[in-house]
């Protein structure tokens, strides 16, 4: 994989990396060759057999940078179209994907002002034989900075989400939301976005069960006119974590792109998107589910869970998190890093024995978390073509319309 970025786009890339650094500790780089540009209507999970290319699917090499947080409740991806680059070669018969330490990659792009002022060209090159990802910045005055970063091979990181199936959508200039969010204390964890029955849109900090009278509550109402589009279900609300959202917001503000928010019922992920000719950004955050609806078993479009755990399963968030971590770390090129929360449609569970082993090893699968906790996002994992597992089963959140899976 080799790509060259010049001019103002270098700063855009730098800002994207800064945004991703607010999400997770690892940056996943994925060059793709067979992408269908702009396919937001259902990210398809690609199994070992890629859908055959037809005339309507031109070969369209792209580069995506992704990150996910440790609790798997936030996922961000930045997808760069070929036009973003001066030159882009996905390269090689086998698509190589890797992940690098976020800290290392961020270190290359740490100073945004100096990126803008001194860097003229940025070259990213994957040297598989040497196990190095080379990021080279060509700067003014004949100075060249070369970073040879170590990387790890990894599985494809793909969150499953479909904006088409979200009941509500809002679109606003990023500035509006940035200015709104500024009023909340930096330490604030969760915020609730609400559209009431009358169409009034507000942002309010989420107050945990505690003494409501002792906490400071901030509520901000936003005028409907300030939004570019409002297609929200009346009397709907969604609660999500502000921290990861702020990272995207600063990118959005700087890029002057309108931000779209897609959400559905509480508990279903909220999706923030930014779109322009050469860039597609998605941030998917898990949301807090309502106390009343904790036992929901949604339809095939929904988040469904393994049958509820026995009552004696304690409200043990730590064990739950550890289970997630262990399964995540069991990555190798052989086994898919199935999170301990596979998202299944209410169909017979997948029969892939390897995956089952993964989960068992990961500790007790907690099943439905206590209603207060965020539900994690569900990730399908895609094996590399030709991998040792012949027929992996994809955990599907949103089935594509052909019902291939």
Partner 1 sequence: ASLDNARHLSSLLRAVHFQDHATCFATNNGLRVTVEDAKCIQANAFIQAEIFQEFAVQEQTVTFRINLSVLLDCLTIFDTSSLPGTSTALKMCYRGYGYPLMLFLEEGGVVTVCKINTQEPEDLLDFDFCSTKVVNKIILQSEGLRKAFAELDMTSEVMQITMSPDKPYFRLSTFGNAGSAHLDYSKDSDLIEAFHCNQIQTNRYKISLLKPSTKALALSCKVSIRTDAQGFLSLQYMIRNEDGQICFVEYYCCPDENITEEM
Applying CB under 8 A, which of residues 18, 40, 57, 110 lies at the interface with partner 1?
110
For position 178 contacting partner 1 by CB under 8 A, the verdict is no
Pairing mode, if any, of strands 258-263 and 168-173?
Answer: antiparallel
Out of 39, 114, 300, 347, point to the residue binding partner 1 (CB under 8 A): 114
CA distance 350 to 391: 11
Residue 5 host element (H or E): strand 2-6
Q: Which stretch binds partner 1 (CB under 8 A): 46-54, 137-145, 175-183, 393-401?
A: 137-145
Distant-in-sequence, close-in-space partners of 349: CB < 8 Å, separation ≥ 6? none
Q: Which helix (H) or strand (E) holds 165?
A: none
CA dist 77 and 350 (Å) reads 27
- Among positions 52, 93, 142, 210, the unique one binding partner 1 when judged by CB under 8 A: 142
DSSP conformation class of 350 = P
CB of 13 to partner 1, least distance (A): 18
Q: Is 145 in the site for partner 1 (CB under 8 A)?
A: yes
Contact flag: residue 103 with partner 1 (CB under 8 A) = yes
State how far the Cα of 251 lies from the Cα of 255, in Å rounded to an integer: 6
**Best CA proximity match to 267, nearest among 283, 291, 244, 246:** 291
Q: Which of residues 63-102 bind partner 1 (CB under 8 A)?
A: 101
- Interatomic CA distance for residues 72 and 327, integer angstroms: 12
127 binds partner 1 (CB under 8 A): no
Stretch that binds partner 1, among 77-85, 103-111, 200-208, 393-401 (CB under 8 A): 103-111
Residue from 39, 150, 300, 347 that binds partner 1 (CB under 8 A)? 150
Report the C-alpha gap between 354 and 392 in whole angstroms: 9
The footprint of partner 1 on residues 299-318 (CB under 8 A) is none
Q: Distance between CA 360 and CA 373 in Å, rounded? A: 22
Please say which residue, 81 or 154, places its beta carbon nearer to partner 1. Answer: 154
* C-beta closer to partner 1: residue 149 or 170: 149
Residue closer to partner 1 by CB (options 98, 238) is: 98
Q: How far is the CB of 25 from partner 1 (least distance, A)?
A: 13
CB of 325 to partner 1, least distance (A): 21
Structure tokens at 121: 């060209």
Q: Does 144 bind partner 1 (CB under 8 A)?
A: yes
CA-CA distance, 10 to 140, in Å (whole number)? 14
Question: Using CB under 8 A, which of the segments 70-78, 104-112, 296-304, 388-396 binds partner 1?
Answer: 104-112
Q: Which of 121, 132, 224, 371 binds partner 1 (CB under 8 A)?
A: 132
Contact stretch for partner 1 (CB under 8 A) within 53-61, 138-146, 195-203, 241-249: 138-146
3-state secondary structure at position 303: coil
Distance CA 59, CA 80 (A): 14
Which residues lie near partner 1 (CB under 8 A)?
Answer: 101, 103-104, 107, 110-111, 114, 130, 132, 141-150
């Amino acid at each position: 994989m080799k790509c060259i970025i010049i001019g103002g786009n270098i700063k855009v890339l730098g800002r994207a990396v800064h945004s991703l650094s607010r999400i997770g500790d690892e940056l996943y780089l994925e060059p793709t060759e067979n992408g269908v540009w702009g396919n937001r209507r259902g990210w398809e999970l690609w199994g070992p057999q890629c859908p055959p290319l037809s005339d309507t699917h031109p070969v369209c090499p792209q580069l995506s940078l992704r990150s996910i947080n440790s609790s798997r409740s936030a996922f961000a991806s930045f997808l760069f179209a070929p036009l973003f680059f001066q030159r882009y070669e996905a390269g090689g018969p086998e698509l190589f994907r890797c992940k690098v330490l976020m800290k290392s990659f961020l270190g290359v792009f740490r100073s945004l002002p100096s990126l803008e002022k001194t860097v003229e060209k940025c070259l990213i090159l994957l040297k598989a034989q040497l196990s190095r990802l080379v990021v080279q910045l060509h700067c003014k005055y004949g100075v060249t900075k070369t970073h040879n970063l170590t990387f790890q091979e990894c599985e494809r990181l793909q969150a499953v989400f479909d904006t088409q199936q979200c009941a509500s959508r809002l679109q606003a200039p990023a500035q509006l939301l940035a200015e709104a969010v500024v009023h909340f204390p930096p330490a604030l964890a969760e915020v609730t976005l609400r559209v009431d029955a009358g169409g009034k849109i507000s942002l309010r900090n989420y107050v945990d069960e505690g003494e409501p009278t002792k906490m400071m509550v901030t509520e901000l109402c936003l005028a409907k006119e300030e939004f570019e589009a409002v297609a929200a279900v009346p009397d709907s609300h969604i609660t999500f974590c502000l921290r990861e959202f702020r990272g995207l917001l600063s990118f959005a503000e700087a890029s002057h792109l309108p931000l779209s928010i897609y959400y559905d019922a509480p508990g279903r992920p909220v999706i923030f998107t930014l779109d322009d000719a050469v860039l597609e950004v998605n941030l998917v955050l898990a949301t807090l589910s309502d106390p009343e609806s904790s036992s929901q078993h949604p339809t095939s479009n929904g988040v469904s869970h393994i049958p509820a755990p026995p009552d004696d399963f304690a409200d043990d968030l730590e064990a739950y998190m550890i289970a997630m971590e262990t399964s995540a770390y069991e990555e190798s090129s052989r086994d898919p890093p199935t999170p301990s929360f596979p998202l299944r449609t209410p169909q017979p569970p997948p029969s892939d024995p390897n995956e089952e082993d993964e989960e068992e090893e990961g500790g007790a699968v907690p099943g439905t978390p206590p209603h207060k906790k965020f539900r994690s996002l569900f990730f399908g994992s895609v094996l590399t073509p030709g991998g040792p597992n012949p027929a992996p089963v994809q955990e599907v959140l949103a089935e594509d319309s052909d019902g291939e899976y």
